[in-house]
A = this chain, B = another copy of it.
Amino acid sequence: MSHSPARSGRRADARQNAEKIVQAAVACLGRNAEASMNDIAREAGVGRVTLYGHFPSREALVEAALIRLLAQGNEVLKAVDLTGDPRDGLRALVESGWLLIAQAASVLQAAQTALPSGRVQELHAKPEQRVHDLIRRGQAERVFRVDIPADLLASVLHHILHGAATDVVAGRLDPTDAPRFVAEMALAVCAVPPATLGTD
């Protein structure tokens, strides 16, 4: 199929507008989780017709902003060396993951409100897979507990990290202490429990 130069020019403009809108959504929602479609259109320098032409609802646009941040985050996490002791790997992964989540906290909050329940966690499939693979290896090497399924350990790490991020947003947790505490708690959950645990 061949297209007229005018049509492919319009398509390039459309792509450029979509890109501007997603970047504006990341910026606006990053400053204010309740940013409106109008706020985002203004930031992107496009009209409402163009905005809604690309993203028919605020939900669709919040999702696009989150997908963008997750893709960028996945690139960062790819660079974390997970080849050594799984405990060191987990600490490094949690600390990097924590920074990404803290930077994305406001967009994540917008997504929790705007997207259907469970969708935010679904969109985390790639980083979750990375954590999951590391936990499985740690279990195989018997440095992580095997009495709780890897799926559940990975899910709990997700809840600990995201919960701590909401604690920072709410002013309940000092962001400078958070990475170390979060990594400690992640290790505590995954590590083989000491023989003295509990009294029964």
Provide the residues of chain B in CB contact with A5, threshold 8 Å.
none
What is the distance, in angstroms, from A33's C-beta to the closest C-beta of chain B?
A: 7
CB–CB A160/B156 < 8 A: yes
Contact with B along A152-192 (1 / 0, CB 8 A): 10011011101110110110110000000100110111010
A194 nearest CB neighbor, chain B only: B194
Per assembly, the copies of the chain total 2
Provide the residues of chain B in CB contact with A33, threshold 8 Å.
117
Known: A188-B191, A188-B193. 17 other contacts (CB 8 A): A88-B198, A88-B199, A91-B198, A113-B117, A118-B166, A151-B172, A152-B167, A152-B173, A155-B164, A156-B160, A156-B164, A159-B159, A159-B164, A187-B193, A187-B197, A187-B198, A189-B189
Chain A residues engaging chain B, CB cutoff 8 angstroms: 33, 85, 87-88, 91, 109, 112-113, 117-118, 121, 145, 147-148, 151-152, 155-156, 158-160, 162-164, 166-167, 169-170, 172-173, 181, 184-185, 187-189, 191, 193-194, 197-200
